[in-house]
Amino acid sequence: MLEEELKRMKEENKKLATMLTTLCENYNSLRTHLIELQQKHSTHEEDNNSKLLSRKRKAEDVCCVNNSDINFEEASPKRPREIITTSISTVSVKTTLSDQTSLVKDGYNWRKYGQKVTRDNPSPRAYYKCSFAPTCPVKKKVQRSVKDPSVLVATYEGEHNHPHPSQAETTVPLVNQGVITNPTFFNKFMEDINTSSLQKDLVAKMVPSLSKNPSFAATVATAISGIFSRI
DNA sequence: CGATTTTGACCGGCGC
DNA sequence: GCGCCGGTCAAAATCG
What is the DSSP pairing of strand A151-157 with strand A87-94?
antiparallel
- Residue A115: the pLDDT is 92
- Strand pairing of A124-130 and A139-144? antiparallel
Q: Please give the mean pLDDT across all residues of chain A.
A: 60
Domain boundary among A161, A178, A197: A161
pLDDT of residue A224: 56
Distance between the alpha carbon (CA) of A122 and the C1' atom of C6, Å: 14
Q: What is the pLDDT of residue A109?
A: 82
pTM: predicted TM-score of the whole model, two decimal places = 0.49
Percentages (nearest 5) of helix, strand, coil residues in chain A:
50, 15, 35
A120 strand C contact, CB < 7 Å: yes
- Whether nucleic acid strand B comes within 7 Å of the CB of A44, the answer is no
**A17: Cβ contacts below 8 Å, ≥ 6 apart:** A174, A179, A180, A189, A193
Q: Could you give the 3-state DSSP secondary structure of residue A93?
A: strand
Nearest nt to A102, CA vs C1'? B5
Of all nucleotides, the one whose C1′ comes closest to residue A110's CA is: B4
As a whole-number percent, the residues of chain A with pLDDT over 90 amount to 4
Count of structural domains, chain A? 2
By CB atoms closer than 10 A (0-12, 13-18, 19+), residue A114 is exposed
Binning pLDDT at 50, 70 and 90, where does residue A13 land?
Answer: confident
**Domain with A20 in it:** 1-36
**Residue A118 included in any domain:** yes
β-partners of residue A95 are none
Q: What is the pLDDT of residues A78-106, one digit of tens each?
A: 333 333 445 666 666 655 544 445 565 66
Report the pLDDT value the prediction gives residue A27, as an integer from 0 to 100. Answer: 66
CA torsion A90-A95-A100-A102 (nearest 10°) is -20
The residue-averaged pLDDT of A161-169 equals 57
Q: Which chain B positions come under 7 Å from a protein C-beta?
A: 3-9, 13-14
Give, in order, the Cα–Cα distances in Å from A88 to each of A12, A24, A57, A139, A152: 38, 24, 9, 10, 16
Q: Given A161, A176, A203, which residue is the final one in a domain?
A: A161
- DSSP helix/strand/coil, A137: coil
What CATH number does the domain containing A144 carry?
2.20.25.80
A92 and A157 in a common domain: yes
pLDDT tens digits, A181-204: 344 444 544 554 454 444 455 445
CB contact at 8 A, A24 and A174: no
